Amino acid sequence: MKVSLFIPCTVDLMMPEIGVAVYKLLSRLGAEPVYHANQTCCGQPLYNAGYREQAKRAAKHFIEVFGEDDIIVSPSGSCVSMVKHHYPELLCDETSWYNRAFELSGRIFEFSQFVVDILCVTDVGASFSGKVTYHESCHIYRALGISHHPKKLIAAVKGTQLVEMSNATACCGFGGEFSVGFPEISEAMVKDKAENFLNTGADVLVLNEPGCLLNINGYLHRNYPQKRAMHLASFLYENSVEVNHA
């Protein structure tokens, strides 16, 4: 099946290796990923800041780019949530755009949800001997209601021991502009997240939200440079058989 990749701005600009991982994994699992080169950003930063007119511009572009795709997959839950839940509301006073947005909302999937529910795969052929723990990002856990999918994928990695972190569902303190606008509070929150991670004794923290990743890895690099967090797609891909043998 053809799958259209929606690579969020954070991944495109700052962590393209996640996009590569998604592409390679989905290819290997039998989906045929395509990538529309004129995609940009879902507009969430503008929307969250309150620039609705400007966010509409981004939304309309997105709908134009992805409008014909049967399935859209993205490694960012917050972006998927933006498209699914906020595009229709954002465009509610322009009927034809609203209809297109509403219709699109049924065709966009978060990465782990797509692999488990649509491709019906839990074992992607990866192996990692070590302890792994998982951070439940706010948009994925609460806005999209996704929690079992990523954990199933991690647990199926041969040799991996998935351990639970305390307060795994607590917000990491990113919140986009919040991390810059309210740095002290944000720091207190990401500090807790990092400490909870360290207390599990896990070798790596896995999560599937790029924003959280920037935040947590940024903090870890400054304060605990030997520890790191990885995107789920990167974790699965980098530990896959073919990469290890390459």
Partner 1 sequence: MHNRVDKFREIASREMQNELSRAFLLMLSLGAPIMRQIGMSSFPDPDCAEAYGRAIRAEAIERMPELLEEFEKNAEASGAKVIWAKDAGEANAAVLKIAKERNISYVTKGKSMVTEETGLNEHLIENGVDVFESDLGEVITQMLGRLPFHIVGPALNVPPGEISDIFLKKGIIKEPTDIFLKKGIIKEPTENPVELGRAARVFLREKFRRLEMGIVGVNMAVAETGTIINVENEGNIRMNKSSPKTLVAIMSLEKVVPTMTDALHMARILSRNCTGQKLTGYVSMDTGPKKPGEIDGPEELFIIIVDNGRSEIYRDVKVREILRCIRCGACLNTCPVYSKIGGYPYGFSYSGPMGQIINPMLLGIGSTADLYRACTLCGACKNICPAGIDHPSLLLEYRARQKGQGNMPVFERMTATAASVAMASGSLWSIGAKCARPLLNSFAKDGYIKNMPLVAKGWFACRDLRAMPRKTFREMWKELNKSSADKKESI
Site for partner 1 in 23-52 (CB under 8 A): 23-24, 27-28, 35, 37-41, 43, 45-52
Complex with partner 1: residue 1 or 185, whichever CB lies closer: 185
Complex with partner 1: residue 111 or 160, whichever CB lies closer: 111
Residue 19 as a binder of partner 1 (CB under 8 A): the answer is yes
- Report 189-228 residues binding partner 1 (CB under 8 A): 189-191, 214-215, 217-219, 221-223
Closest to 71 in 3D by CA, of 100, 46, 39, 34: 34
Member of 68, 106, 184, 245 binding partner 1 (CB under 8 A): 184
- Tokens found for residue 106: 């049924």
Question: At its nearest, how many Å lie between partner 1 and the CB of residue 238?
Answer: 16
Query: What are the phi and psi torsion angles at 108 (to 5°)?
Result: -115, 135
Q: Where are the alpha helices (DSSP H) in the chain?
A: 9-14, 16-28, 44-49, 52-66, 77-81, 87-90, 95-104, 111-113, 138, 148-155, 177-181, 183-200, 210-223, 232-238, 241-245
- Report 132-161 residues binding partner 1 (CB under 8 A): 138-139, 142-143
- Whether 125 and 194 have beta carbons less than 8 Å apart is answered as no
**Would residue 173 be called left, alpha or beta, if left means φ above 0 and alpha means ψ between -120 and 50 degrees?**
left
Question: At its nearest, how many Å lie between partner 1 and the CB of residue 86?
Answer: 8
- Report 73-92 residues binding partner 1 (CB under 8 A): none
Q: CB count, 10 Å around CB of 206?
A: 26
- Report 105-134 residues binding partner 1 (CB under 8 A): none
Complex with partner 1: residue 160 or 194, whichever CB lies closer: 194
Complex with partner 1: residue 98 or 182, whichever CB lies closer: 182
Question: At its nearest, how many Å lie between partner 1 and the CB of residue 183?
Answer: 3
Closest to 157 in 3D by CA, of 239, 53, 41, 50: 239
Angle (deg, nearest 10), helices 210-223 and 183-200:
80
Complex with partner 1: residue 44 or 133, whichever CB lies closer: 44
Size of the residue set binding partner 1 (CB under 8 A): 72
Query: Which run of H or E residues covers position 33?
Result: strand 32-35
Distance CA 111, CA 124 (A): 13
- Report 159-178 residues binding partner 1 (CB under 8 A): 169-171, 173-178
Question: At its nearest, how many Å lie between partner 1 and the CB of residue 161?
Answer: 26
